[in-house]
């Protein structure tokens, strides 16, 4: 009898534990929350601030959220407000947030010789936004090694400029911080005075390195791994081909439009030479997707350029990368769907391949839900904040796209405004991915359900 009762209790306990077991997507959501709260606690400590006076928890929470969500929006100047301890914490939060906390957990497990369980592999798969489970641990190893290598090279090259300017120790530290911030598409800088990289607008070395790091970080780890494996572009997967094509188009189109729109603006490109104009235009085509650095004063840009930046910020980088936004592939699927409809084709076709309707619906849902979130944020901020509508609109898209570009209104936000932007940055970092995963599960569960009769309605 005792054995039976024990068996029943064990079974009941097993069912209870199973009921409380978190889904992989829930692990990601809660993991980021825990990381943000821990970062906020550390940043609120007295020795995290340069003056030793401590930081109120809301500002610490804002900074920690911005760092973990690799956004770059700041309520206090990173270069002058925080101590060395605070800057190190911010850099670590950027690194963990950019690559994902499961990547770091996997690294620790590998060092300790611990086996990665199936459940942990599922969480890693969802964090990397992969379609299958095969090879996720191997890819994670490549991510860790590749990240350290790329960031190390970037740090050394940036130090060539920073060491003569700031001295050996500080120059090397600046090189490391900005390399990590650029590769993770975070946009935090240590220059001070809320200037970002405007003092390096004519520096080809700094611009070239930062742009390269932004692009590599924004391509996505699976794309980079495939490019390393396959030397022939024609053998790339459809995902990689689409990412590379859209990245080139967005960079090229953004560069040309920025150059045209700002060419004669005396506050931006006007005083620069022809080569510097092109370099600054390229920089401001790459950074809205979703880096947050700027070499031109953002508040001096024309309204047309700001609107262009809003579009680029909303699209963002590629799936499985350090960048935010709705992702290039999401936008690409919808664009090619429109092209297919115009051509009278039933299916969405890209590079002689057919995209499933489930993926088209998912992409449409992600874009619509994202626009609704941004619209709600803008509506509330226009009530709580004393700022121009264009500035509020720009700030909302920057927060949701985890970009970090600002019209300068972030430090003056009300407590309610700060809380809203915090929630927006978090939603922008995890929202589209979580929505995509939830929709994928629902579509799988609902496939066996009955189908209602079809009827047409008028559209357009």
Q: Where are the beta strands (DSSP E) in 292-387?
A: 348-350, 353-355
pLDDT tens sequence across 43-93: 999 999 999 888 999 999 999 999 998 898 999 999 999 999 999 999 999
pLDDT bin (cut points 50, 70, 90) of residue 428 is: confident
pLDDT at 273: 93
pLDDT at 422: 95
Helix (H) or strand (E) holding 438: helix 415-445
pLDDT at 203 over 70: yes
The domain limits of the chain are 23-442
pLDDT at 27 over 70: no
pLDDT tens sequence across 30-47: 778 888 999 999 999 999
pLDDT at 14 over 50: no
Helix axes 101-112, 24-43, angle to 10 degrees: 90
pLDDT at 6: 46
pLDDT at 18: 47
* Tokens linked to 385: 């904040």
pLDDT bin (cut points 50, 70, 90) of residue 12 is: very low
User: Going by C-beta distance under 8 Å and a sequence separation of 6 or more, which residues neighbour residue 444?
Assistant: none
pLDDT at 104 over 50: yes
Using CA atoms, how far apart are residues 99 and 174, in angstroms rounded to an integer?
Answer: 20
Spacing of C-alpha 291 from chain mean position? 8
**If we measure between CA atoms, which residue out of 375, 372, 374, 359 comes closest to residue 425?**
374
pLDDT at 232: 81
Q: Give percent of the chain above pLDDT 90.
A: 52
pLDDT bin (cut points 50, 70, 90) of residue 15 is: very low
Using CA atoms, how far apart are residues 198 and 354, in angstroms rounded to an integer?
Answer: 45
pLDDT at 16: 44
pLDDT at 323: 77
- pTM, whole model, 2 decimals? 0.85
pLDDT bin (cut points 50, 70, 90) of residue 237 is: confident
**If we measure between CA atoms, which residue out of 453, 406, 412, 438 comes closest to residue 425?**
406
Using CA atoms, how far apart are residues 387 and 409, in angstroms rounded to an integer?
Answer: 7
pLDDT at 118: 56
Pick the more confident residue, 311 or 217: 311
| SS3 of 217-272 | HHHCHHHHHHHHHCCCHHHCCHHHHHHHHHHHHHHHHHHHHHHHHHCCCCCCCCCC
pLDDT at 11: 45
Q: Give percent of the chain above pLDDT 70.
A: 79
Helix (H) or strand (E) holding 233: none
What are the residues facing 82 on neighbouring strands?
49
Q: What is the mean pLDDT of residues 243-256?
A: 93
**If we measure between CA atoms, which residue out of 1, 459, 77, 73 comes closest to residue 292?**
73
* Tokens linked to 309: 């930046």
pLDDT at 267 over 70: yes
């Amino acid at each position: 009898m005792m054995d039976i009762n024990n068996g029943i209790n064990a079974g009941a306990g097993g069912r209870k534990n199973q009921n409380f077991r978190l889904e992989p997507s829930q692990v990601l959501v809660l993991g980021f929350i825990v990381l943000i709260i821990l970062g906020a606690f550390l940043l609120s400590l007295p020795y995290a601030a340069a003056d030793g006076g401590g930081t109120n928890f809301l500002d610490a929470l804002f900074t920690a959220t911005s760092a973990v969500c690799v956004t770059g929006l700041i309520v206090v100047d990173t270069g002058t407000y925080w101590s060395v301890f605070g800057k190190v914490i911010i850099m670590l939060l950027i690194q963990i947030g950019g690559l994902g906390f499961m990547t770091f957990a996997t690294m620790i497990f590998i060092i300790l010789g611990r086996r990665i369980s199936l459940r942990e592999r599922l969480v890693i798969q969802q964090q990397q936004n992969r379609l299958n489970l095969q090879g996720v641990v191997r890819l994670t190893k490549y991510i860790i090694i590749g990240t350290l290598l790329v960031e190390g090279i970037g740090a050394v090259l940036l130090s060539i400029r920073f060491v003569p300017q700031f001295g050996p120790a500080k120059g090397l530290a600046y090189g490391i911080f900005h390399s990590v911030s650029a590769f993770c598409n975070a946009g935090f800088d240590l220059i001070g005075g809320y200037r970002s990289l405007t003092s390096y607008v004519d520096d080809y070395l700094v611009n070239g390195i930062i742009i390269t790091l932004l692009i590599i970080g924004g391509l996505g780890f699976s794309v980079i791994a495939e490019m390393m494996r396959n030397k022939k572009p024609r053998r790339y997967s459809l995902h990689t081909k689409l990412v590379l094509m859209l990245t080139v188009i967005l960079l090229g189109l953004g560069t040309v439009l920025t150059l045209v729109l700002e060419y004669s603006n005396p506050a931006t490109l006007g005083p620069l030479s022809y080569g510097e104009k092109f370099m600054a235009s390229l920089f401001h085509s790459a950074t809205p997707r979703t880096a947050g650095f700027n070499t031109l004063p953002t508040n001096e840009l024309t309204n047309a350029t700001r609107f262009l930046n809003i579009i680029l910020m909303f699209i963002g980088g590629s799936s499985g990368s350090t960048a935010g936004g709705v992702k290039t592939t999401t936008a690409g699927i919808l664009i090619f769907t429109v092209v297919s409809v115009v051509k009278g084709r039933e299916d969405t076709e890209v590079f002689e391949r057919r995209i499933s309707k489930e993926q088209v619906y998912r992409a449409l849902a992600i874009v619509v839900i994202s626009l609704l979130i941004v619209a709600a944020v803008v509506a509330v901020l226009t009530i709580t904040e004393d700022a121009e509508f264009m500035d509020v609109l720009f700030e909302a898209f920057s927060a949701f796209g985890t970009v970090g570009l600002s019209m300068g209104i972030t430090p003056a936000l009300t407590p309610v405004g700060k809380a809203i932007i915090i929630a927006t940055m978090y939603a922008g970092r995890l929202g589209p991915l979580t929505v995509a995963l939830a929709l994928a599960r629902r579509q799988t569960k609902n496939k066996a359900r009955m189908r209602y009769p079809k009827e047409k309605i008028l559209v357009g």
